[in-house]
Amino acid sequence: MHSDILIIGNGIAALSLVYHLTELGIDKDIIVLSEEPTTRTNSYLAQGGIAIEFGNATNKNKHIADTISCGIINNQTSTTTILSEAENSIRSIINSGLSFEYDHTGNLLKRREGGHSERRILYHSDTSGKHISDFLIQKVNANKRVKVIQNSFCFKLLREGNTCIGAEVYNTLENTVETIYAAKTILATGGAGALYSNTSNSSQSIGSGIALAKEIGAVITNMEFIQFHPTAFVRKEKTILISEALRGEGAYIKDRNGNRLDGVELLTRDRLSRILYDGMQNGEEYYLDCTDIPEEVLTKFDYVRNSLASFGIDISTTPIPIKPVAHYMCGGITTDVQGKTNIENLYAIGETADTGLHGANRLASNSLTEAITVPYLLTLDLLKSDWKESETSNINHYSVDICRNYTIRIDSLRTMMWEKCGIVRTNSDLEYLRNYIATEMGKLDENSSISYAKLKYKTMLETAMIIVDSSINRSENVGTFWKK
């Protein structure tokens, strides 16, 4: 199979790219490849919104300053470019019909979240990700040159010289392998939160793009910086992320005795997560108290409210039990602001990319800003691009064996990542975990056959090893990274 553009992933970054390609007149064949529907992606579940400043240079500079204050080691040039260009990319989508919340005079309403000095978050109730995704899906479906392929797991990128020419894909329904050649390959595979037992992420968020890119020589950076969201309701059957926008509207955090943790509500996620982690290590329990928030404000948080109601919690009267969970991968495949990697014709966008915007700690709601803006800048670059048809390489042949079950081993890895490579780490724990992962990799290599479960576990091990190695190599505590 051949395509001009192969997009691996179907979250907001992938959908935004198709939108911008269409709007700016790039008339090419596009394949959007994914394991599961967009409704299972992390960005679809995003509650907060889009951090953006329109027009006013002073306010834009404040947004840039807040981002760098939060991330500390950000690439300042990339941060300035992305947050400055965000207005153009997001206005384009708004002008195409995407709506947010407005006041009675027609002005956009904005929320404030942790680390922000101003209200600058555009939102739609507490389901901004769903709202944006549903709008973009309509645009994608309207482009007749887009082919959406689901139930497909990309397990290998193809490289000739220093050029990516496509990918090998495992069909999870038919247990077959297909090769897709493409002039341009874009990784939009999301983060790696599902490597952890406690996470807000979907099950496919295993950092697959990281493993794919590293295998063919792409540069990977800052993988030790995994952001933990401080406020989630965690039960065996479901984890419900509690948007920090609630704290921006007046919710506060209490211990089990009802004592308020003063001054922590709008701390950045890394600082608040460590505060809660330290207390929990000493047997403390924490709650998010929304009972002082006016009813007319709580009605803007229907997703959280209804989700918790299914567990018997009325947030207007009852504090919510909370725990930190793995949430966002701040590092990733090293790219410029246009998503370019060091491999020709290979790009990365969204959470799988490290553009330098997030540094050591992502500022709340900057993820959707990046997921819409970098695809816009990539599209501008592709307007000037050379569109040579990709060359065909030798086709690999694989033996498929679907009899082996990896569920227990996957669960063990996720538990160990949480316990030994989580909010606070030690070198001894990391070395133990590294040896465990290496042993598991060796066991997989004993059998050359493949299956969806095996490929997924192999990818999890490879990405986990990158995170562990990066954690061992870092000596300075900064942002989300904390090692004793």
Which residues span the domain enclosing 277?
A: 230-326
Q: What is the pLDDT of residue 447?
A: 82
439 and 344 fall within a common domain: no
In this structure, are 6 and 103 located in the same domain? yes
Q: Is residue 394 assigned to a domain?
A: no
Residues 78 and 160 grouped into a single domain? yes
Based on the fold, state whether residues 346 and 316 are members of the same structural domain: no
Same domain for 315 and 343? no
Residue 397, pLDDT score: 81
Tell whether 318 and 446 lie within a shared domain: no
Do residues 184 and 31 touch, judged by C-beta distance below 8 A? no
Position 483 in a domain: no
pLDDT for 391 equals: 66
With b for 16 or more beta-carbon neighbours within 10 A and e for fewer, the 85-102 pattern comes to bbeebbebbeeeebebee
Burial class (CB in 10 A: 0-12, 13-18, 19+), 277: middle
Query: What's the pTM value of the predicted model, to 2 decimals?
Result: 0.95
So which residues are the catalytic ones?
Answer: 269
Question: Both 57 and 172 in a single domain?
Answer: yes
- By CB neighbour count within 10 A (0-12 exposed, 13-18 middle, 19+ buried), where does 399 fall? exposed
pLDDT at 73: 98
**Do residue 23 and residue 123 come from a single domain?**
yes
Along the 484 residues of the chain, how does pLDDT read in single tens digits? Answer: 999 999 999 999 999 999 999 999 999 999 999 999 898 888 898 998 999 999 889 999 999 999 999 999 999 999 999 999 999 999 999 999 999 999 999 999 999 998 999 999 999 999 999 999 999 999 999 999 999 999 999 999 999 999 999 999 999 999 999 999 999 999 999 999 999 999 999 999 999 999 999 999 999 999 999 999 999 999 988 999 998 889 989 999 999 999 999 989 888 889 999 999 999 999 999 999 999 999 999 999 999 999 999 999 999 999 999 999 999 999 999 999 999 999 999 999 999 999 999 999 999 999 999 999 999 999 999 999 888 776 676 677 888 888 889 999 999 999 999 999 999 999 999 999 999 999 999 999 888 899 999 999 999 999 999 999 999 999 999 999 999 9
Alpha-carbon distances, residue 467 vs 192, 211, 471 (angstroms): 10, 11, 6
Give the distance from CA 3 to its chain's centroid: 26
pLDDT at position 108, please?
95
CATH code of the domain in which 426 resides? 1.20.58.100
Same domain, 235 and 180: no
CA angle 46, 109, 20 (to 5 degrees): 55
Residue 279 lies in a domain: yes
Residue 397 lies in a domain: no
Supply the CATH number for residue 378's domain.
3.50.50.60
